[in-house]
Structure 1
Amino acid sequence: MSGSRPPAPRGAEVSAAAPSGHSGTTATIAIYSVKGGVGKTTIAANLAWCSAELSGRSTLLWDLDAAGGSGFLYGLEPHRSRAAGEVFAREGHAEKLIRRTAFDGLDVLPADESIRTLDATLSALGKRKRLAKLAETLGQRYERIVLDCPPVMNELSAQVVRAADLIIVPLPPSPLSARALELVVREVADHAKRHPPILPVLSMLDMRRTLHKAAREENPAWPVIPYASAVEQCAVQQRPVGAIAPQSPSAQRFIGLWRAIERKLAER
């Protein structure tokens, strides 16, 4: 697995002229759920790492959640406050905000508090495919764009489903999860003419719990991300599981999920 980029310090900005290593095939992967607290950001951050480290793809992790969790998990803060929302209003502004991580081929577009008003910004712009257009432009440099989405149902979520080539839905083993999946399916049906595939993922699974075991038995084909200390350490060490504990069951689960994603994308 690759290491750091010697020419640029961790968290450095990426110049617009920086080489991307792009092979010409781009896909936008949305990690989306209408329910909060489902492990969405952890999944997004780790899948972005898998894309860059395992598949060798130039990858952008784009944080659309005002909490800014994806940037935090890589030890990054926004380049300057209240600028992330300007990406949608100003052409080319994204390039100035993208940050390099310590991993080859993996960059982050961090969020900040300005994202809180993004729904109003998108509504005011009146451009229903603004996010899709921005992703298309960024796709000239990145083979994989991973969207860490907020748990909302509004204009932003509508734009997410229009932009996505694949939607990953984290679902903790809970009676509310089935409803959350139904709402995502409805959101896609309502707003996407080209229906992107939806891949449910059982997240934070603890097989010691009866309810969790039942959920696994009911959905044996779904990928699983376990509830584990190795996953919790991502936030403590601000690194992905594969870099912290590459041989752990959790790391292997993320690898398995990423391979399932690549297979889905290959079917397009």
Structure 2
Amino acid sequence: MAVVAIYSVKGGVGKTTFAANLAWCAAMQSSRRTLLWDLDAAGGASFLLGVDPKKKKRATSVISKDIDPAKLIRHTDYPRLDLLPADESLRALDVQLAEIGKKNRIAKLTADLMKDYDRLILDCPPVLNELSSQIVRAADLIVVPIPPSPLSARALDIVREEVSAEGKKAPPIMPVFSMVDRRRTLHRDSILDQKKWPVIPSASAIEQCATHLAPVGAFAPRSPAARAFKALWTDIERKLAKG
């Protein structure tokens, strides 16, 4: 059992696309019982999996333990893949966590959820606050999407500082190049500088996830983008196995 957080302090790096596609790979490629927990108020992961959130704004009720998460979990069109959807109530999640005063609330909730799942994927908002600190404490691995750019590199440094603050309990970080266009010199040079980092290309198939309301592996399984996500998930599984 493992919790994988898809996290960056910078928005627009492909985080939600990573979360939806990796959750699909966990369920379909590795045959894991997988839950994707959407913690971003924008609800992008729910959208990409074709799940319409219920109108009632109850996502924060899970955090306060006023409702059993099982009542909000939705099945998707894919075997072994479920979704705990987001809604706009999560906009105040950081304030809610501060009011609760429990530093490990997210970790305890993930532990409870993992009783029914093998893999829990967290789609995290691009924040640096109490929520991100709790996500770090809950995760077994943090995947950080990084488009090849100086601003993204700076965002990775910030994530590393936040994670290292947990000391010996800090989870490992896996940086992954996202939105890579090998025709661009900056992108090619960045990949050469970090040859061990996995690479997810900039591809029309990935953009079409929002059109098809499905992970790329579901509608374009032979595409380079689908193969890249599958390879990334294999790397993640290997890293989790090593502990």
Q: Which of 154, 166, 189 is equivalent to 1:214?
A: 189
In structure 1, what is the equivalent of residue 82 of structure 2? 107
Please say if residues 231 and 250 of structure 1, whose CA atoms lie closer than 8 Å, have aligned partners that are also in contact: yes
Q: What is the Cα deviation at residue 92 of structure 1?
A: 5.0
- Give the counterpart of 2:21 among 37, 46, 58: 46
**Counterpart selection for 1:71 from 46, 52, 55:** 46
Residue 225 of structure 1 aligns to which amino acid in structure 2? I
Structure 1 outlier segments of 4+, above 6 Å: none
Match of 2:209 in 1: 234
Matched positions, count: 243
Whether the 8 Å CA contact 2:69–2:84 is kept in 1: the answer is yes
- The separation in 2 between residues aligned to 1:67 and 1:224, in whole angstroms, is 26
Q: Please name the residue that 2:124 is paired with.
A: 149
TM-score, with length taken from structure 2: 0.98
What TM-score do the two structures reach when normalised by structure 1? 0.89
Distance (Å, rounded) in 2 between the aligned partners of 1:124 and 1:189: 25
Which is further off, 210-219 or 188-197?
Answer: 188-197
Give the letter aligned to residue 104 of structure 1. Answer: P
Write the distance in 2 (CA, Å) between the matches of 1:192 and 1:153: 18
Over 3 Å counting, the alpha-carbon distance change for 1:193 and 1:86 in structure 2 is: farther
> Hey, what does 1:34 align to over in structure 2?
9
2:103 maps to which of 128, 131, 135: 128
Task: Give 2:176's match in structure 1, choosing from 201, 204, 215.
Answer: 201
Greater helix share, structure number = 2
**1:35-92 Cα deviation digits (max 9, x unpaired):** 0000000000000000000100000000000100000001112233311011000255
Which 10-residue stretch deviates more, 76-85 or 253-262? 76-85
Indicate if the aligned counterparts of 1:78 and 1:97 stay in contact, CA closer than 8 A: no
Q: Secondary structure at the match of 1:201?
A: strand
Q: Which runs of 5+ in 1 are unaligned?
A: 1-25
Verify the 8 A CA contact 1:162 1:192 in the aligned structure 2: no
CA RMSD in angstroms, aligned pairs only: 1.0
Hey, what does 2:140 align to over in structure 1? 165
User: For the residues of structure 2 that align with 1:77 and 1:191, how far apart are their CA atoms?
Assistant: 36
